[in-house]
Every structure is written in structure tokens, then in C-alpha cells.
Amino acid sequence: MAKAPRYEGLNADTHVGEAARAILRALLKAVLAPAPAVLRGNDVRAVHDMRVAIRRLRSAMGTFADRFPHKKWRKLREGTKRIGTRLGEVRDADVHLAALRGARASASAAELPGIDFAIETLVARRRRALAEFAVEFSQFDRDGFTETLADA
């Protein structure tokens, strides 16, 4: 699994709001870092890292929801969920393709047409899912996110 970011300078007496901002900033950075590699197309590791980073960010957004203006926060959470869902479809295809390619190596001649059909179908599905993710990600409000963290 992708390594968790370091959340520097937090201790038991840190104000919750301050801790929330530090954690969320680190997690947003971790979400955005692999994005260029993901959008280039075939970087399975980058897709995985970004997917996990989005999961962490969503979890922190839930934990610290009370620290931020409700309406703005709900919109940001919905946007984060949408990019997570889209990228999850890409990741699911990657995992299944790896399993299928492994199975193909030991398949009988009679099984190959079906396995190849499954692989072709998944490759096409992954391509579509990545295109849909790219559209969703272009609408992800990273500036709104940063501003909300600064305002809170």
C-alpha cells in the first residue's frame, strides 16, 4: 500500500482545527502528486497510489468534518468521492487484468479465446474509465479545497 504522508508537528495538545488542516494539506498533496502519471495512461502503481491517497483524504474529511463550513465541505467531499469512484473503476480493471494475464499463462488452448475476450473487454473498459476519471478530475476543485483549509 502507498505510504502514509508524514503529519509533522502534531501532539496531544495541538488544537484539533490546526491538526485537521495539517493532515488534510498533507493528504491533498499526496492525492495530487501521482495525478500526472495516472493521466498519462498506463502507470498501474500511480493509479494505486492515488486511489489510496483519495481514500485517506476522504477518511480525514469525514473525521474532521465538524471543523469546516458544512455546505462548502459537503461539496468538496462529494467531488472527492466522485474522483475516487472513477479512479476505482480504473484500479479494479488493473487488478482483474493482472489476474487474467496470470491465468492466461497456464490456460489450455480451448480456454484462450474466452480469456483473450475477457482481457480485451477489460482493456476497453479501463480506457473508458480513465477518460471519465480525467473529465472528473479536471473539475476537482483543488483551489476551493486549499482556500477552505486556509479559511477554517
DSSP letter for 80, please.
Answer: H
CB atoms closer than 10 angstroms to residue 151: 9
Q: Give just the sign of the alpha carbon dihedral 33, 36, 41, 43.
A: negative
Burial class from Cβ neighbours inside 10 Å (0-12, 13-18, 19+) for residue 11 reads exposed
Which positions from 38 through 97 interact with another protein, judged by CB under 8 A?
A: 55-56, 59-60, 62-63, 92, 95-96
The Cα 24–Cα 61 span in angstroms is 7
Instruction: Please list every residue from 122 through 141 that binds another protein, using CB under 8 A.
Output: 122
Selected from 36, 40, 65, 103, the binder of another protein by CB under 8 A is: 103
Q: Which is nearer to another protein, 56 or 86 (CB)?
A: 56
Given a contact cutoff of 8 angstroms between Cβ atoms, the answer to whether 19 and 8 are in contact is: no
Instruction: Give the one residue of 40, 117, 123, 124 binding another protein; rule: CB under 8 A.
Output: 117
145 class by beta-carbon count within 10 Å (0-12 exposed, 13-18 middle, 19+ buried): buried
Stretch that binds another protein, among 68-76, 99-107, 127-135, 137-145 (CB under 8 A): 99-107
Distance CA 68, CA 32 (A): 21
Applying CB under 8 A, the site for another protein has a residue count of 38
CB of 7 to another protein, least distance (A): 6
Q: Measured from the CB atom, is 1 or 150 closer to another protein?
A: 1
Interacting residue with another protein among 36, 41, 113, 144 (CB under 8 A): 113
Binding site residues, another protein, CB under 8 A:
1, 4, 7, 10-19, 23, 55-56, 59-60, 62-63, 92, 95-96, 99-100, 103, 107, 110-118, 121-122
